[in-house]
Amino acid sequence: EAGVTQSPTHLIKTRGQQATLRCSPISGHTSVYWYQQALGLGLQFLLWYDEGEERNRGNFPPRFSGRQFPNYSSELNVNALELEDSALYLCASSLTQGSYNEQFFGPGTRLTVL
Amino acid sequence: AQSVTQPDIHITVSEGASLELRCNYSYGATPYLFWYVQSPGQGLQLLLKYFSGDTLVQGIKGFEAEFKRSQSSFNLRKPSVHWSDAAEYFCAVGAYNQGGKLIFGQGTELSVKP
C-alpha cells in the first residue's frame, strides 16, 4: 500500500513569491493535515481538511491557505513568502474522524525562502 | 492549554544498552498518545499509539511505551538499542475534540555509540 506522497521534495523561492505544495493521502483516507517543522520551533499544526472542507487551522496568518480536492489530495499555498517560512512542511492523512484515528506522515517538502 | 514535554533534548546510549525516552503531557481529558520517529531529512514514522485499554503498548522495531495516568507520562522504551535507532523521537498528543491536530513535544535526538 502506497504511503502519503508529497511534491516537490525541495522548493526554493524568494521573499514575496508564492509557494504551492502538494500532498496525496493514503488510499481510503479522507482527512489531510499539514504541519510546519521549522528550525527551533518544532512541529506546528497548520491545517486540517476533511471531505473537501477546512475543519481547523492552527495559529498561522491567512497567507497560509489550502484546499482539498474531490480525490482527497490537498494543496498548501503560502503567499507573500517571508524568510521565516523556510521549513519542512509535512502532510499527514488519516481515516475520517468518526473516532480518533492515527495520522500517517509523508516525507515532507523542504521550502527554502531566500 | 494542552502541552507535551520531552525533558531530554539529546540522549546518547551504547549499542545494545536499554533506552527510555521520557514524555509528559498536560491535558484535561484522556488523551490519545503517540510516539513518532524521524530520520534526518525524512518524514515521521509512527512507532506506537495509545488510545485506551492496556497501558503497556507494543510498537514496531521492538519499542514499547507505558501510559501512566497518575504521572501524566508516556515513556518510550527499548531493551536493546541498535545503531539504526539513531534518529529524533517525538511524543505527540491528540484528542477527538482537538480539531484533528496533534501537539508534539520538542523531540529527543538519540545518538548510538558503537
- Cβ contacts below 8 Å, chain A against chain B, sum to 59
pLDDT digits (tens, 9 = 90+) for A21-46: 999 999 999 999 999 999 888 899 99
Residue written as grid cell 511524543: B91
Residue pair A67/B2 in contact by the 8 Å Cβ criterion: no
| Min distance B96 CA to chain A CA atoms (Å) | 6
Nearest to A56 among B46, B101, B107 (CB): B101
> Is a pLDDT exceeding 60 seen at residue A99?
no
Contacting residues for B70 by C-beta, under 8 A, at least 6 apart: none
* A41 → chain B, closest CA residue: B106
Report pLDDT for A67. Answer: 97
Report pLDDT for A40. Answer: 83
Whole-angstrom distance, CA of residue A12 vs CA of residue B110:
30
Average pLDDT over residues A64-75: 97
Report pLDDT for B38. Answer: 96
Question: Residue B101 and residue A58: Cβ atoms within 8 Å?
Answer: yes
Nearest to B102 among A50, A97, A103 (CB): A103
> Is a pLDDT exceeding 70 seen at residue A90?
yes
Residue written as grid cell 521549513: A87
The model's confidence at residue A97, banded by pLDDT at 50, 70 and 90, is low
Q: Is B49 on the interface with A (CB under 8 A)?
A: yes
Question: Residue A102 and residue B42: Cβ atoms within 8 Å?
Answer: no
> Is a pLDDT exceeding 90 seen at residue A100?
no
Enumerate the residues of chain A whose CB falls inside 8 A of the CB of residue B95: 100
* Mean pLDDT, rounded, of chain A: 93
Better-predicted residue by pLDDT, B97 or A8? A8
Question: Residue B107 and residue A42: Cβ atoms within 8 Å?
Answer: yes
Report pLDDT for B92. Answer: 95
Average pLDDT over residues A95-111: 83
Nearest to B101 among A45, A50, A99 (CB): A45
Whole-angstrom distance, CA of residue A4 vs CA of residue B37:
16
Phi-psi region of A108 (alpha: psi -120 to 50; beta: other; left: phi over 0): left
Enumerate the residues of chain A whose CB falls inside 8 A of the CB of residue B107: 42-43
Instruction: Spell out, as residue ranges, where chain B has pLDDT lower than 50.
Output: none
Best probe of the B interface among A103, A104, A112, by most B CBs < 10 A, is: A103
Nearest to A97 among B41, B42, B100 (CB): B100
Report pLDDT for A98. Answer: 53
Report pLDDT for A101. Answer: 73
Report pLDDT for B101. Answer: 86
